[in-house]
């Protein structure tokens, strides 16, 4: 195909896409209107199952299958990173040197680590009640742990972070999500159907049937996935050294 | 929420996003990206999507810049080692 023909093809495709997009945007409802057909239905469905946070109900009840897909994407992505960033044959590990940290930085980090950890766990635990959930809380808790790297040094972080346990937790929580989904099949309803557990009292921690359980599984998965991911990046940045050729 | 607040948040996002593209040094780009993450989180919260705002705050403002900084550090150290060996 000549260059000229390719440019024409690109121009035709681009013009078609622009026309379709413009037509679609013209049909959009006005900004900030009062009619929200999907929102109204989602809120009704989530209230029927005593889930206070409609987003959590969408993620872990009405569209729990989508969340399974997103969870698998994260799992596969972290697995790929672990494979790519592993210690190669021509590399060796050097023990990181103890680092000097300015005293205010150290004090601030040691003060913030517990607060940030509790904050992350709170966001996971209250995912079915208030904004947040397994994903957000998991990322917050996992990054909070890495404040230790700022406040102390890499060896201190390695001491509080048993990597093997986090890798196992990552895989186990993906399995937990699948098993919870299969429980519905075994009970004779459908995969990931939220019909087995009692829905509980509205706006309490145990409300929403399967929602808190799936939320906790995602929280564990995301927290350990982020820890494993950052651990592999940190290993490469701090410990693993290429051996000189020859 | 009021339109003025949305407009301010949108302008801040546009300004920091442009700054992130204009900045050529990857380490500084990561810092600008972190600021952009915070402003995006504000925008999502103003548009009444606090769940997405929280995700954006955790991933965009903390995790992504951290990963970029670590990659930059690895590459710079490798280059320094190689230059030092010569």
Query: What is the value of ipTM here, to two decimals?
Result: 0.88
Give B52 to chain A, closest Cα distance, Å.
8
pTM of the model: 0.88
Chain A residue at shortest CA distance from B69: A237
Q: Where does the pLDDT of residue A246 fall: very low under 50, low under 70, confident under 90, or very high at 90 and above?
A: very low
The parent domain of residue B70 ranges over 3-85
Residue to mutate among A222, A233, A239, A240, with most B CBs inside 10 A, is A233
The parent domain of residue A12 ranges over 3-242
A159, A145, A161, A140: which is closest to A109 by C-alpha?
Answer: A145
Contact A139 B81 (CB under 8 A): no
pLDDT at A158: 87
Read off the pLDDT of residues A164-209 as tens digits, 9 standing for 90 and up: 999 999 999 999 999 999 998 999 889 989 888 889 999 898 888 8
From chain A, the residues in CB contact with B1 under 8 A are none
How buried is residue B19: exposed, middle or buried, by Cβ count under 10 Å (0-12/13-18/19+)?
A: middle
Give B15 to chain A, closest Cα distance, Å.
23
Is it the case that residue B14 has pLDDT exceeding 60? yes
């Amino acid at each position: 195909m000549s260059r000229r023909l390719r440019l024409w093809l690109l121009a035709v495709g681009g013009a078609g896409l622009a026309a379709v997009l413009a037509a679609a945007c013209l049909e959009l409802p006005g900004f900030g209107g009062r009619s929200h057909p999907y929102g109204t239905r989602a809120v009704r469905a989530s209230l029927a199952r005593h889930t206070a946070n409609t987003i959590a109900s969408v993620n872990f009840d009405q569209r729990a299958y989508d969340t399974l897909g997103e969870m698998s994407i994260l799992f596969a992505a972290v697995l790929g990173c672990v494979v790519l960033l592993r210690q190669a044959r021509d590399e060796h590990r050097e023990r990181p040197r103890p680092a000097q940290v300015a005293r205010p930085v150290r004090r601030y980090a040691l003060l913030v680590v517990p607060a940030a950890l509790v904050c992350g766990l709170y966001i996971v635990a209250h995912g079915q009640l208030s904004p947040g959930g397994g994903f957000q809380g998991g990322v917050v808790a996992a990054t909070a742990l890495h404040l230790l790297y700022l406040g102390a040094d890499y060896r201190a972080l390695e001491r509080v972070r048993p990597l093997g346990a986090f890798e196992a937790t990552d895989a186990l929580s993906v399995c937990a999500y699948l098993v919870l989904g299969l429980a519905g099949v075994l009970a004779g309803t459908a995969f990931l159907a939220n019909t087995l557990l009692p829905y509980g009292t509205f706006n309490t921690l145990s409300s929403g049937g399967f929602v808190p359980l799936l939320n906790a599984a995602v929280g564990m998965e995301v927290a350990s996935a982020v820890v494993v991911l950052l651990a592999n990046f940190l290993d490469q940045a701090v410990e693993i050294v290429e051996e000189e050729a020859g | 929420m009021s339109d003025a607040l949305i407009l301010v948040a949108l302008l801040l996002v546009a300004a920091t996003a442009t700054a992130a593209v204009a900045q050529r040094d990857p380490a500084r780009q990561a810092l600008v990206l972190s600021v952009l993450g915070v402003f995006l989180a504000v925008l999502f919260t103003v548009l009444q999507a606090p769940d997405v705002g929280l995700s954006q705050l955790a991933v965009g403002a903390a995790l992504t810049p951290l990963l970029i900084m670590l990659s930059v550090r690895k590459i710079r150290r490798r280059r320094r080692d190689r230059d030092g060996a010569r």
